[in-house]
Each structure stands twice: as C-alpha cells, then as structure tokens.
Amino acid sequence: MGLQLLKLVSHGHLQELPEWLQKVTGLQQLELGQYDSLKKLPLWIGEMRGLLQLSLSGCSSLRELPSGMGGMTWLQHLDLSDCESLKELPAWIGGLQHLNLSRCYRVRNKGRKRGSAQNLGVTWQGMEIPGSCISSTNGAGNTRKCSCR
C-alpha cells in the first residue's frame, strides 16, 4: 500500500504543483493549503485514481478547476475554502458528497445539471446547505438564495 495522506502547506511562491506528485500511488487524501501563487492545477490531477479528498484551502489565486477533474468520479470531498479568485464551478461538481466554498465570494456554477447535486452537502460562507437546496445569485452575483424542497 502506498502513501494515503499527503499535506503540502504554506509554499507561498509555488506557482505549479511538483511533477513528482502525479507518481504517488495509493493516495486517498491530498491537502494543498495556502499555495497563494497557484493559479491553476495541472491536467494530470484528474488522473489521480483513488483520491477521495482534495483540499485546496487558501489557494487564493486559483482561478479555475481543470476539466479533467470531471472524470474523478471517486472524489467525495473537495475543499475550496478561501479560494478567493475562483469564479466558476464546472458541471461535474454535483458528483461530490461535500464541497466547501467558504469565503469563495466570486464563485458561481457554470452549468450544474438539474438534480445532480441532490446528495451534495455544501459549506458556503460557514453555513451548511443541504444538497436538495437550489442556490442562485442575483444579477450582481453576490446574493445567494436557497429554496429547499
């Protein structure tokens, strides 16, 4: 069995993930915290088979998630808290069990399929929002409403 948990924290000036990371096998949890110069993730992150939890907390310059992450059907928890530059979420995000969007003030969903997030638990601005809630933004993109069914 390989490494199951890897934490890489507070590498302030690192602008891309190290290449050796894609060769780590058996990884179930990856925590990349406080990489405030990281603007995008490499495409190969979507090929990390068996990764159940991914934390990108504090990656304040991260602007987008790669489309290749959409194939990560095994990913259950995604922590994007304090990713202040993140603007959009891809449609595949509804396949997760939990998504943390605390202090992601600019984020909006790009095209989640209706009903795809029924079991998704979302933390947004410190509040737990059940997946059966439908969230929306007003025209300015800064007001969230939630209507549960």
Measuring CA to CA, which residue among 120, 130, 64, 121 is closest to residue 95? 120
CA-nearest of 15, 17, 21, 103 to 57 is 103
Helices (H) and strands (E) in the chain, counts: 0, 11
Q: Write out the two tokens for 27.
A: 């990884």
- Count other Cβ atoms within 10 Å, centred on residue 23: 9
Q: What is the pTM of this model?
A: 0.75
pLDDT, tens digit, 9 for 90 and up, residues 99-146? 898 888 888 765 444 334 445 667 665 555 554 443 433 334 333 333
Residue-wise pLDDT tens digits, 42-96? 999 988 888 999 999 999 999 989 888 888 888 999 999 999 999 888 777 767 8
